Amino acid sequence: MGKSGKGQRIGILTAGGDCPGINAAIRGVGKTAIVKYDMKIIGISDGFSGMINKEYRELTEHDLSGILTMGGTILGTSREKPFKKNGKGKNEISKPALIKHFYEQMELDCLVCIGGNGTLKTAHLLSLEGLNVVGIPKTIDNDVWGTDVTFGFDSAVNIAAEAIDRLHSTANSHKRIMIIEVMGHTAGWIALYSGVAAGGDVILIPEIEYSEEKIAEYLIRRVEENKPYSIVVVAEGIKNPTKDRSAAQYLSRRINEMTGLESRETVLGYIQRGGTPYPMDRVLATRYGTAAADMIARRDYGQMVALRNNDIISVPLGEVSGKLKLVDPNDPLVLQAKNMGTSFGN
Ligand code: F6P
Residue-wise pLDDT tens digits, 13-25: 999 999 999 999 9
pLDDT score of 17: 96
Name beta bridge partners: 235.
182
Provide the pLDDT for residue 90.
54
pLDDT band for position 85 (50/70/90)? confident
Q: What is the mean pLDDT of the chain?
A: 96
Model confidence at 199, pLDDT cuts 50, 70, 90, reads: very high
Rounded mean pLDDT of 188-210?
98
Catalytic-residue membership of 63 = no
Ligand 1 atom with the smallest distance to the CA of 139 is 1
Q: How confident is the model at residue 292 (pLDDT cuts 50, 70, 90)?
A: very high
Helix (H), strand (E) counts: the chain:
11, 11
Domain boundaries, the chain: 9-151+277-320, 154-273
Expressed in angstroms, the distance from the first to the final Cα of the chain is 55
pLDDT band at 98 (very low <50, low <70, confident <90, very high): very high
Q: Which of 18, 46, 109, 141 is catalytic?
A: 141
- pLDDT of 35 reads 97
Assign a CATH topology to domain 154-273: Rossmann fold (3.40.50)
Residues sharing a CB contact under 8 Å with residue 107, sequence separation 6 or more, in sequence order? 9
Of the pLDDT bands very low, low, confident and very high (cuts 50, 70, 90), residue 92 is: confident
Q: How many whole angstroms from 223 Cα to the centroid of ligand 1? A: 35
Equal CATH topology for 9-151+277-320 and 154-273: yes
**How far is Cα of residue 209 from the mean position of the Cα atoms in its chain?**
23
Q: What is the pLDDT of residue 91?
A: 59
Between 12 and 88, where is the model more confident? Answer: 12
Q: Is residue 3's pLDDT more than 70?
A: no
Average pLDDT on 183-200 reads 98
What confidence score (pLDDT) does residue 4 get?
53
Centre of ligand 1 to C-alpha 17, Å, is: 6
From residue 53, give the alpha-carbon distance in Å to each of 49, 101, 104. Answer: 6, 11, 14
Q: Which of 78, 120, 141 to mutate to test the pocket of ligand 1 (most atoms within 8 A of CB)?
A: 141
Does 206 contact ligand 1 (Cβ within 6 A)? no
- pTM score, whole prediction: 0.96
Strand partners, 202: 232, 343
Q: What is the pLDDT of residue 2?
A: 46
- Measured by CA distance, the residue closest to atom 9 of ligand 1 is 17
Q: Is 196 in the pocket of ligand 1 (CB under 6 A)?
A: no
CATH of the structural domain 9-151+277-320, one choice from 3.40.47.10, 3.90.45.10, 3.30.70.250, 3.40.50.450? 3.40.50.450
